[in-house]
Chain A
Amino acid sequence: MNSTLTTTRTWRKKPVVESARMRWFLGIGVALYLSTAIGSMEVNWSRVYEGLDRGWAFVIAFTSPDFAGRWSDIRSGLIESLVMTVTSTAIGILLSVPIGLGAARNIAPRPVYLLCRGIIAVSRALQEIIVAILMVAIFGFGPFAGVVTLSFATIGFLAKLLAEDIEDSSKDQLEAIRATGASWSQLMNYGIQPQVMPRLIGLSMYRLDINFRESTVLGLVGAGGIGATLNTSFDRYEFDTAAAIIITIIVLVMIAEYTSGLIRTRLQ
């Protein structure tokens, strides 16, 4: 006992990666990657230095945003964004419900299941902006292309989560409804729908929020919304107008997030 008291032993935290060789390997690998990655990045420091003034002007612009100068442009852009958000979320939900039902393994036959999962996978893999570029090429400039894009993106999100929720729903209730001799539509209406409805509404609200955020950039590729106005104001270095638009977007997103949070907590 005495000997242990005289020698001082210090405790050290266990390393995250157990094997020492692996630690060295990872360390050197990360260092190598970082040095080549940073080395291959060409930064024009004089350009950055020149830009600092403009950056500062932009920060200053936030203290005096110019809402009035281009108010009519901002207003119509925002209304277009909001309208696109509502329309695309509604269409997205309408399409997501059948696809979500089809993508749930416990209620859909195998071929339908695979087809619906395929649609979801494609929708999730394609980025909104890329879809928007194709839609603009197909349908022409304007909010219609944006609505199609956002509706398509909504499917990947909503149908996937809905399908997972249906797969998690309680079997007992389904069996009980089935035992009364209910038809397929009655089974959906009385067995599935009450179980998944709160979550579906919550997810739809969340998606409404996401769609608004996305609708603000679709304008960059000509698919309608406030993005086009924002792009123009950056091109002209009208930072006070850009600041006004960004502040409006932030406030609207905050309101949307707050209300959707409120509705979601009330439902649960």
Chain B
Amino acid sequence: MASRRQFIQSGLALSAASLPAVSALAAQAAPGGASQTLRLERFVVDVRLPQAVELARHAAIRGIPVAETSGDLTEIWRGDFAPRWKQAPMALAGATTRGELFVLETLANDHGMRVVYRGRHDGSKRARARHRLSGPAEVLAGATARAHGFSRGFSWSALAGALAACPVGLTPTARLELETEAVAPGPAGDEPLYTWIIAPRAALTARA
């Protein structure tokens, strides 16, 4: 079984540009991308959350395969992720509840991966929406720059674009808090939406 430390080691090897590590990097990079971006192999969406569904729709437009859940991750984990992660880690993004992110983050930790971007989006019972993002500065900058092009100040499309453009490698991380007008679609209840990217350690250290 692949181990967390093995991937840490492959990440270190990658910075020394060894051949196996380079090929691992190639597997993570977007095809033909001049600036290397993570190749997101799945977008996990909690279909109970309308905002998550909207974000997943934009992710699918960008060619990211969508994996649906409604709270219980057993089927996704047992049928899809676990067999793949035994072979190699992979990059994935999602829009879920905090509980689902916790489960996937815990499993990812055991398989040489970690959360590299995390966003919390609160909106119910408020006239305005609040977005708290942390992760690669390039992702946050991309989301913010794109958001400025929208009259409402934020859109799920813009965020999907920023996630799809998440760079490979250790980049400066940043935090961003953004309060905007309500974003359509709004949340179904008062539970915050979490958006996130999980990536292999090897990919993170690629540019270090």
**A and B pair up:** no
